[in-house]
């Protein structure tokens, strides 16, 4: 069976801990000027249906650092998924030529179809349902700033979207409490809660509320993401109205633990979901978090190519 990285849910807590600790070791090696050319001679195809700064730059950079080449492909190059040719044909061509397929796509079901036909690893670089690379870079950042994560509380304020879904899984796998404060109508899918419960999550470690102030009580991490994800631009005006009262601002941050860390996956829309003051404050670890996209994914790619 080929190993992919489509969702955090697919990975055991043990394997995710192992990847976290190894990613920290590899980060240290690279910070100290070392190199690990384990992927020399390999090629990674990076196919993106949506724009990206952090994800693209981190994959291109880590490939270079591991000795691999990349091919960046947009729908204008190879065609939209399933339109110029069936996904199963595209994937079988990739199997014969490259060593890994990194995909940022609109539909999670397209990644599942790609993985079904793949004999090389497929990595989810964001889809409508999940953003697992982000979730694990977030865990790495929280761990570096807070130490052991077991029993710590992460509060996510805002839209129940792809980023929150991966965070919910990441928190569960690392023994954290995940609290989400969102307006009615913007919750994560019911099936996600069912899946988490089927793996042992309880009402104590997955908390859902409409009250941002109550949600940050005892929080070790406050996290937010845009209210308008890529592809939802037409709903922008309605969403901005519906999310009033859910902004992460200094008044809210001050209600959490004194040592609280504020995170955001970026890009951030300043003074909508989060204020400029919070982003630039000592509470913010947002740029460490962005950098950790590189460090976690470098270990993930090394691991996937060596399995
Ligand atoms: N956080 C994140 O995935 O950023 P990009 O969309 O810029 O890759
Ligand atoms: N939820 C956002 C995340 C961007 C990294 C989106 O999907 O656009």
Residue 4 near residue 123 (C-beta atoms within 8 A): yes
β-partners of residue 262 are 222, 284
The per-residue pLDDT for 307 is 76
Instruction: Read off the pTM.
Output: 0.98
Residues ≥6 apart with Cβ < 8 Å to 133: 5, 55, 123, 124, 125, 126, 293, 296, 297, 300
Within 13 Å, how many C-alpha atoms sit on residue 84's CB side? 10
Task: Tell me the C-alpha distance between 221 and 253, whole Å.
Answer: 10
Domains of the chain: 8-130+292-306 (3.40.50.1370), 135-289 (3.40.50.1370)
Task: Tell me the C-alpha distance between 141 and 284, whole Å.
Answer: 11
| Ligand 2 atom at minimal distance to the Cα of residue 162 | 1
β-strands 100-104, 43-48 pairing: parallel
131 is an active site residue: yes
To test the ligand 1 pocket, which listed residue (103, 141, 267, 286) has its Cβ within 8 A of the most ligand atoms? 267
104 is an active site residue: yes
84 is an active site residue: no
To test the ligand 2 pocket, which listed residue (58, 226, 243, 269) has its Cβ within 8 A of the most ligand atoms? 226
The per-residue pLDDT for 125 is 98
The per-residue pLDDT for 202 is 95
96-152 pLDDT, tens per residue? 999 999 999 999 999 999 999 999 999 999 999 999 999 999 999 999 999 999 999
Of the listed 131, 182, 239, 295, which one is catalytic? 131
267: cis peptide before it, omega within 30°? yes
The per-residue pLDDT for 1 is 61
Is there an atom of ligand 1 within 6 Å of 50 CB? no
Of the listed 104, 239, 295, 298, which one is catalytic? 104
Residue 187 near residue 254 (C-beta atoms within 8 A): no
Residue 57 corresponds to which tokens in the numbers above? 């730059």
Kindly give the parts of the chain with pLDDT less than 50: none
The sheet that has 261-264: what strands, in order across it?
206-209, 177-181, 153-157, 221-224, 261-264
Residue 17 corresponds to which tokens in the numbers above? 């801990």
């Amino acid at each position: 069976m080929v190993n992919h990285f489509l969702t955090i849910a697919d990975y055991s807590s043990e394997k995710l801990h192992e990847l976290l600790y190894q990613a920290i070791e590899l980060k240290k090696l690279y910070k100290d000027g070392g190199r690990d050319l384990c992927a020399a001679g390999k090629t990674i195809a990076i196919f993106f249906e949506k724009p990206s700064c952090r994800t693209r730059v981190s994959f291109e950079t880590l490939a270079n650092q591991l000795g691999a080449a990349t091919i960046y492909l947009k729908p204008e190059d190879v065609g939209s998924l399933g339109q110029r040719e069936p996904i199963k044909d595209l994937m079988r061509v990739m199997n014969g030529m490259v060593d890994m397929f990194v995909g940022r796509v609109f539909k999670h079901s397209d990644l599942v179809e790609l993985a079904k036909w793949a004999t090389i690893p497929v990595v989810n670089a964001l889809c409508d349902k999940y953003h697992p690379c982000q979730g694990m870079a977030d865990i790495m950042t929280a761990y570096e700033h807070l130490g052991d994560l077991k029993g710590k509380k992460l509060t996510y304020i805002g839209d129940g979207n792809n980023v929150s879904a991966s965070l919910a899984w990441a928190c569960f796998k690392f023994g954290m409490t995940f609290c989400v404060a969102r307006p009615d109508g913007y919750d994560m899918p019911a099936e996600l809660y069912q899946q988490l419960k089927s793996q042992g999550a309880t009402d104590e470690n997955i908390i859902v509320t409409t009250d941002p102030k109550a949600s940050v009580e005892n929080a070790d991490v406050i996290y937010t993401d845009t209210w308008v994800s890529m592809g939802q631009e037409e709903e922008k005006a309605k969403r901005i109205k519906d999310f009033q009262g859910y902004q992460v601002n200094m008044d809210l941050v001050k209600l959490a633990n004194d040592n609280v860390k504020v995170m955001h996956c970026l890009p951030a829309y300043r003074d909508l979901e989060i204020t400029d003051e919070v982003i630039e404050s000592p509470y913010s670890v947002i740029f460490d978090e962005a950098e950790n996209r590189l460090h976690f994914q470098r270990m993930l790619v090394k691991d996937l190519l060596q399995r």
